Structure 1
Amino acid sequence: MRILHTSDWHVGKVLKGRNRLDEHIKVLAQVVEIANAERPDLVIVAGDLYDTAAPTADATRVVTRALSALRRTGATVVAIGGNHDNGPALDALRPWADAAGIELRGAIRENPEELLIKGQTEAGERWQLVALPFLSQRYAVRAAEMYELSAAEATQTYADHMARLIEKLAEPFAEPGVINLLTAHLTIVGASAGGGEREAHTIMGYAVPATIFPRNTHYVALGHLHRAQSVISPCPTRYSGSPLAVDFGEEENIPSVAIVDVGTDKAARVRDVPITSARPLRTARGTLEQLSTVNLPDAWLRVFVRETPRVGLREDVQEMLPNALEVRIDPEMMPNRAGERMAQRAGRSPRELFGDYLDARGNAEEGVRELFDELYDEVSSTQ
């Protein structure tokens, strides 16, 4: 069977005040074009459909239309909630999704059996997919345990809970002749962050070892990290990455979707298909003269200016480079305050430095300087 694996759409993302909805429409239209060309049996969207838990009506319209268009290609479509999504709100769309033939799993609910989705390709290949939305640590680990455990112990407990949950959900994988699949939105120990993820949900207590995945899984489709990459694991495991760079920390990433061919007797083969519809993100550095030679009209720019700070410098850069969303003074041009302070202190006595401190604090209380002199003389005489 063939799978199109994508994740981390982050529809509704605003970059330095710039709405990117038009870019998302183009990107998702290209994903649909790829689906029409590749004819996958299954499309997996592994979380973070939205950039915020309270998406706008426009963002919701873009996501639902994209999911519907993917379903019209003839593929089964499965989408799960990520840490940026509002799981219960996604589940509130389940009646629409069910009517559209889309399998939507926003959050883990009381009936875990619905997290196992089964299907069959037109060629008669049977498959089953464990669809595991993002699970917050505070829900995976009881509150009492969180208060009683150290941070390291809580992290390990989260990983243990995830391992037990996946083991339970994957019990049907023992059935022969079925392609076993799993999708989840989480961080794997040792995987590389893309640069624009929410750090609190990427590192702090949320990294789990790849050993939590059962060996008899034919392919694991992950979301959460924005860089496309394979993960060393007991079974074929991959992040598809985001189909567009969501922040300047991701400018070196190559946005793509993954096309996976897999069978019960055939190891998963993965091809990355680049997504080229969004504007690239680029960083430019230099003096005003050097920046005047920058020719990146199709890119959003982050600019580090190598000039002495002055009023109107930002405006001059943005007039020269209209696509500059962020303009900063290059850190190398910033004054070295620590060096200045060291120079100011050089050769001055402790009494003089303490006097400067009192003046800076506005402390004019009588006797303080004299008391310092007495203490300083006492300490100095004992050395």
Structure 2
Amino acid sequence: MRVLHTADFHAGRNTRGFDRTPELHDALTEIVGLARTERADAVLVAGDLFDTVNPGADAEGIVYDFFLRLRDLGIPSVVLAGNHDSASRLNSLSGLLGWVGVQMVAELSADPSRLVRTVQAKNGETLVVAAIPYLSERRMLRAADLFGQEVGAWRQRYRDGMGFLMGQLGQHYQAGAVNMMMMHATLDGAQPSGQRSVTLDIHNSYTVSGLQFPAGTQYAALGHVHKPQVVGESRIAHYPGSLIQLDFGEGGEQKQVNLVEVEPGRPAHVTAIPLASGRTLRTLRVTHADLEARLTAARSLDGLLKVVVSAPAGTALPGLKDQVLRMLPNVLAVELDADALPEALSPLASREHLSRLQLFEQYYRERRGQLPDALRTAFLEAQQAVQAGEVEA
């Protein structure tokens, strides 16, 4: 059996006000072509189809066009809701999407079997996908109620709750079938983009242990972390990463999809297939003294740029952004090095077109440094709760 694993489309994404929809459309078209040339029996999409819970028409158009193209090829797909998606919105479309071969898993059910999807391959083999959509701690408490568990214990240990769910779903694996687990979550040891030598804190209450995968799991198709990687000693858990370089923290990463070749009862063979779509994001660090010379030399650089300028404390830099943009029109952001300038001279980057999350990240970065993943998740959950009307703004 041959399965393509992808995740984290983030359709509707704007990078510093620059619309990435055309690039994402190209990447999705490229994956459809790979599904055809690699003779895929199924495509797995491990969450974050969209960048926001209320995506625009263009974002919805490229995602649903992707599924229609797969339908035309006769290739079914299994899809999860991620933390950026509206689970209720995707769930309401699940019946309609089913007509084009999309098996959507957006929300939990009290019946674990409703989270398990099966796909029949052309060679007669059966693929079983045990799928867990993104679960925040808030949704985990709802899951505890659904499964008749003690809520207090699950509140204290997020990973215990996830382990229980994974075990319940693993009971629906089938002998003689290919058995996979699909999740939108952070696994212990995962490396975020932009921090190649630093792994996520294993004590983070929002992480899951690779030891919790049920016996018989031949491949774990993960989404949520944008850097492609294999996680855990068992080597069965894979993040394919995002489709394109979505922000400057992902600059330099080769994006990919995973081709998983596997047969019942045997270890999976995984091949990373590089993606050619998407513009390269680069960060150009210069000093005020060599600014003009460095910008002149950078005119030959393709892709999208962020320019970080350092200068001695107390240096006035009027018109800096305009100067940079005149020389390099492909610059999306101009920032001053906060370490080189006093706080009073370190203005916020332009807020125009920034999302609430981007504004919060900018605010946090200028005061404390890199925004922790757990705090980013909490912010998104609070925002989604407000948008869904669960709490007042």
What is the TM-score normalised by the length of structure 2?
0.78
Aligned residues: 327
User: Where do residues 160-309 of structure 1 align in structure 2 (5 Å cutoff)?
Assistant: 160-173=160-173, 175-195=174-194, 205-234=205-234, 236-286=236-286, 287-307=291-311, 308-309=315-316
With 275-284 and 235-244 compared, the bigger mean Cα shift is at 235-244
Specify every segment of 5 or more residues in structure 2 that has no aligned partner in the other structure, as ranges.
Answer: 146-150, 345-393
With 268-277 and 110-119 compared, the bigger mean Cα shift is at 110-119
User: Where do residues 48-67 of structure 1 align in structure 2 (5 Å cutoff)?
Assistant: 48-67=48-67
Identity of aligned residues (%): 35
Question: Quick one: distance in 2 between partners of 1:2 and 1:64?
Answer: 23
Asked whether the 8 Å contact 2:88–2:107 carries over to 1, the reply is yes
Question: Quick one: distance in 1 between partners of 2:218 and 2:6?
Answer: 17
Amino acid at match of 2:22: D
Q: 1:209 to 1:143 in 2, by over 3 A?
A: closer
For 2:43, the equivalent position in structure 1 comes to: 43
Question: Quick one: distance in 1 between partners of 2:266 and 2:143?
Answer: 44
Q: 1:50 to 1:144 in 2, by over 3 A?
A: closer
Amino acid at match of 1:8: D
What is the TM-score normalised by the length of structure 1?
0.80
Amino acid at match of 2:270: V
User: Where do residues 135-150 of structure 1 align in structure 2 (5 Å cutoff)?
Assistant: 135-141=135-141
Note if 1:326 corresponds to 2:333.
Answer: yes
Shift of 1:336: 8.2
Larger Rg computed on CA atoms:
1
Question: Quick one: distance in 2 between partners of 1:68 and 1:212?
Answer: 35
Question: Quick one: distance in 1 between partners of 2:81 and 2:184?
Answer: 8
Q: 1:327 to 1:215 in 2, by over 3 A?
A: same
Query: Which SS does the other structure have where 2:298 is aligned?
Result: coil
Question: Quick one: distance in 1 between partners of 2:178 and 2:320?
Answer: 59
Query: Which SS does the other structure have where 1:293 is aligned?
Result: helix
Q: 1:17 to 1:91 in 2, by over 3 A?
A: same
Specify every segment of 5 or more residues in structure 1 that has no aligned partner in the other structure, as ranges.
Answer: 338-383
RMSD: 2.5
- Cα deviation per residue 1:6-39 (whole Å; 9 max; x = unaligned)? 0000000111111111111111111111111111
Amino acid at match of 1:13: R
- Cα deviation per residue 1:240-275 (whole Å; 9 max; x = unaligned)? 111111111111321111111011243211111111
Q: 1:203 to 1:93 in 2, by over 3 A?
A: farther
User: Where do residues 350-361 of structure 1 align in structure 2 (5 Å cutoff)?
Assistant: none
Shift of 1:76: 1.7
Asked whether the 8 Å contact 1:107–1:135 carries over to 2, the reply is no
